[in-house]
């Protein structure tokens, strides 16, 4: 467990490139108490441990991740592997600021 560095805080996510025609994985982004974020396949975030939620769990949005997707600062394979193992993954702030 631990935080994955999946989104760069300084760079634009860039153009999305799908490596193949495999189906997308639907993910849901949640903001946790303390300013952390988590991704999960559970739309309600039930598999994010309560002790990580910090007393707050706020749904941000859902989105699709394509197998082999390439974005600056985002590793789709690492996200998929961590979610397969733990059911969720902690990430840095996914919103870019200049």
Structure tokens at 30: 């949640």
Kind plus residue range of the DSSP H or E element containing 76: helix 76-86
Any idea where the domains of the chain sit in the sequence?
A: 3-91
| CA–CA gap between residue 91 and residue 59 (Å, rounded) | 14
Question: What are the pLDDT digits (tens) for 85-97?
Answer: 999 999 887 765 5
Burial class (CB in 10 A: 0-12, 13-18, 19+), 73: middle
Distance separating alpha carbons of residues 36 and 64, to the nearest angstrom: 20
14-40 residue pLDDT tens: 444 445 566 888 999 999 988 889 999
**At 65, is the pLDDT very low, low, confident or very high (cuts 50, 70, 90)?**
confident
Query: What is residue 98's predicted lDDT score, i.e. its pLDDT?
Result: 42
């Amino acid at each position: 467990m631990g935080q994955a560095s999946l989104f760069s805080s300084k760079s634009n996510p860039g153009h999305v490139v799908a490596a193949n025609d495999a189906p997308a994985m639907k993910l849901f982004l949640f903001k946790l108490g303390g300013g952390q974020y988590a991704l999960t396949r559970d739309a309600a975030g039930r598999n994010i441990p309560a002790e990580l939620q910090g007393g707050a769990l706020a749904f941000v949005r859902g989105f699709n991740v394509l197998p082999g997707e390439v974005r600056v600062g985002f590793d789709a394979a690492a996200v998929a592997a961590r979610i397969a193992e733990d059911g969720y993954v902690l990430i840095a702030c996914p919103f870019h600021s200049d």
